[in-house]
Structure 1
Amino acid sequence: MNTKTYWLFGSQQQILSSELDTNAHYDLIEGLFPPGTQSPLHVHANYTETIIVLEGEAIIFTPGNERILKQGQSFFIPRNVPHAIVNNSASESFKALAIASPSGFAHLIRSVGIPDAGFNECPAQAHDMQVAMQIMINLGDTILGPPGARP
């Protein structure tokens, strides 16, 4: 199994399984979202995403829906559904598993993410957004708005 940890848009993402392990059927990612972390509003055209909260509390926004997930709860995000994932806590991180099917998300993380240096802190280094945009186009991912934007 190829396990790697990266920082992507403020959250720590550990690739547990990817297209390299699953014949491109799915990616299994463990994400740690520090207090106040929000994903950009985005959509996946070519894969679904299932979020399973392991620790803490996550809020997932989809069109017309604000879903609070606590430990052990999950949420399925079909293809082409805009969404944002938020840690609204001022003091607690949340940890979740993400299952992307078929594979795609792990490739984005490996290509755009900043390798974790082992300090469990988000690095100050910026992402190469030109590379990120090209990979997202290839994957069918689109950022629809900045963190804080809602569908």
Structure 2
Amino acid sequence: MSDLPFWFLGGQVRVLVPGEATGGALSVMEFTDVAGHAPPLHIHDDEDEVWIVLDGKVSFFVGDQKFDLEPGQAAHGPRGVAHSYLIRSDKAKLAAVFAPGHVENWFTANGSPVAHVDEAPAAFDIGAILASADNFHVRVAGPPPAG
């Protein structure tokens, strides 16, 4: 699997370590998003998720808790608990570790290649993305957080 960037929900994503490289133990992805970006509140039934802020300011929402993090700080989203994030700076980059691995296949199946670094985000079909989430035991639990 390549670590080339692709678009997912309007942000750029790269698979840094695929689950197949770790025998399914974990996978690592990198997300680069702009101010205001927030995926819907969602639940992973199979994976724990750890976010590490690499650049920018990000609020993480886990259950009824909110964590405002900056570079070098991390948060944990346990499997079975609703979570999301909101980008609070102009741009932010974060790493996400999923354990066990393989959920990255859902992201890559629903992404589109980034042809040029400066291009605008590719359009996406949220209905199709959510419909395929069932296959990876990912469920939407609410709208994106607003702050």
Q: TM-score, length-normalised on structure 2?
A: 0.89
Say which SS state the counterpart of residue 4 (structure 1) adopts. Answer: coil
Residue 109 of structure 1 corresponds to which residue in structure 2?
Answer: 107
Q: Do 1:40 and 1:84's aligned partners in 2 also have CA atoms closer than 8 Å?
A: yes
1:133 counterpart (119, 130, 137): 130
Structure 1: runs of 5+ lacking an equivalent: none
1:79 maps to 2:106: no
Distance (Å, rounded) in 2 between the aligned partners of 1:5 and 1:109: 11
Q: TM-score, length-normalised on structure 1?
A: 0.87
Q: Do 2:86 and 2:146's aligned partners in 1 also have CA atoms closer than 8 Å?
A: no
The CA deviation at 1:78 is 0.6
Which aligned pairs between 1:7-26 and structure 2 lie closer than 5 A? 7-26=7-26
**Counterpart amino acid of residue 121 in structure 2:** P
- % identity of equivalent residues: 27
Q: Do 2:60 and 2:66's aligned partners in 1 also have CA atoms closer than 8 Å?
A: yes
Q: CA RMSD in A?
A: 1.9
Which region of structure 1 is more displaced relative to structure 2, 141-150 or 95-104? 141-150
Distance (Å, rounded) in 2 between the aligned partners of 1:120 and 1:38: 21
Residue 44 of structure 2 corresponds to which residue in structure 1?
Answer: 44
Structure 2: runs of 5+ lacking an equivalent: none
**Residues 122 and 129 (structure 1 numbering): CA distance in 2 closer, same or farther, change over 3 Å?**
farther
The CA deviation at 1:65 is 0.8
